[in-house]
């Protein structure tokens, strides 16, 4: 345990910028993945160095003769890489993520602290639910206002059409009444004509006129005279 603590403490004592530089693969210039150490003391990503050795048999850093048989897993560097990854995640993690990680790692908390935390979470949940409900109500209210406006426009169009139809009905009704009155006037004149003895004597002449038969001594007579 002491042997393991020594390298970890030394690694943490190294400045962060220099430490990050040491974690870069000399081939891909990215954070080393699955670190392997060469016989000459350089570390690379396993896939990077294996791919390099398929074409050349030297170390990319010092040109020392190198084959796959001279590669060894770098357990210490892999452990350091995992810790660095955890620290980077912790830096960018949210407070909730920090809390989750702390609980997963067995962080000791008193019952009072847990009650306080649960109370805060419950209050936060209540506020978020209320805010979500208010947002949903506002969305629904906006939708109903838009729907009402649309229906009012449709109603105005229908009312305009109904007014046009009403005007047409009134015009047709007036024409119908005029035709009815004209027919009544004609019927009255016809009855008056038939009841008049003088007009009755002229009836044959009217018939002859309609049949284009000239009648001597009779004046011209048309239906308009009625």
pLDDT in tens, 139-167: 999 999 999 999 999 999 999 999 999 99
Q: What is the rounded distance in angstroms from the CA atom of residue 226 to the CA atom of residue 19?
A: 125
Least Cα distance to 20 among 65, 95, 97, 83 occurs for 83
Where in the chain are the domains? 2-102, 152-192, 196-226
pLDDT for res 209: 54
Q: Which residues, in sequence order, are CB contacts of 25 under 8 Å at separation 6+?
A: 31, 32, 33, 43, 44, 45, 48
- Residue 217 vs residue 18, higher pLDDT: 18
pLDDT for res 169: 95
- Residue 67 vs residue 219, higher pLDDT: 67
Q: Which residues, in sequence order, are CB contacts of 97 under 8 Å at separation 6+?
A: 89
- Residue 145 vs residue 8, higher pLDDT: 145
Least Cα distance to 225 among 212, 196, 217 occurs for 196
Q: Which residues, in sequence order, are CB contacts of 80 under 8 Å at separation 6+?
A: 8, 11, 23
Residue 70: band (very low, low, confident or very high) from pLDDT cuts 50, 70, 90: confident
**26-30, 84-88, 198-202: least confidently modelled range:** 198-202
Which CATH topology does 2-102 take?
A: Herpes Virus-1 (3.30.40)
| pTM beyond 0.85 | no
pLDDT surpasses 90 at 115:
no
Residue given tokens 């906006």 in the structure block = 142
What value does the mean pLDDT take over residues 111-115?
A: 78
Name the average pLDDT for the chain.
Answer: 79
């Amino acid at each position: 345990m002491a042997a393991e603590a020594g390298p970890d403490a030394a690694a943490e004592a190294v400045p962060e910028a220099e430490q990050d530089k040491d974690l870069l693969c000399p081939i891909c210039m990215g954070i080393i993945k699955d670190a392997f150490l060469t016989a000459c003391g350089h570390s690379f990503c396993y896939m990077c160095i294996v791919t390099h050795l398929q074409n050349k048999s030297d170390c990319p850093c010092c040109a020392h003769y190198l084959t796959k048989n001279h590669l060894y897993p770098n357990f210490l560097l892999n452990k350091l890489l995992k810790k660095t990854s955890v620290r980077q995640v912790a830096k960018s993690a949210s407070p909730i993520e920090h809390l989750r990680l702390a609980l997963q790692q067995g962080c000791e908390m008193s019952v009072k602290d847990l009650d306080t935390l649960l109370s805060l979470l419950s209050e936060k949940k209540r506020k978020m639910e209320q805010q979500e409900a208010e947002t949903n109500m506002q969305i629904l209210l906006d939708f109903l206002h838009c729907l009402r406006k649309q229906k009012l426009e449709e109603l105005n169009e229908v009312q305009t059409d109904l007014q046009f139809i009403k005007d047409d009905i009134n015009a047709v009704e007036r024409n119908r009444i005029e035709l009815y009155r004209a027919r009544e006037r004609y019927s009255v004149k016809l009855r008056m004509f038939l009841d008049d003895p003088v007009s009755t004597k002229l009836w044959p002449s009217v018939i002859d006129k309609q049949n284009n038969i000239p009648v001597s001594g009779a004046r011209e007579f048309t239906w308009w005279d009625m």
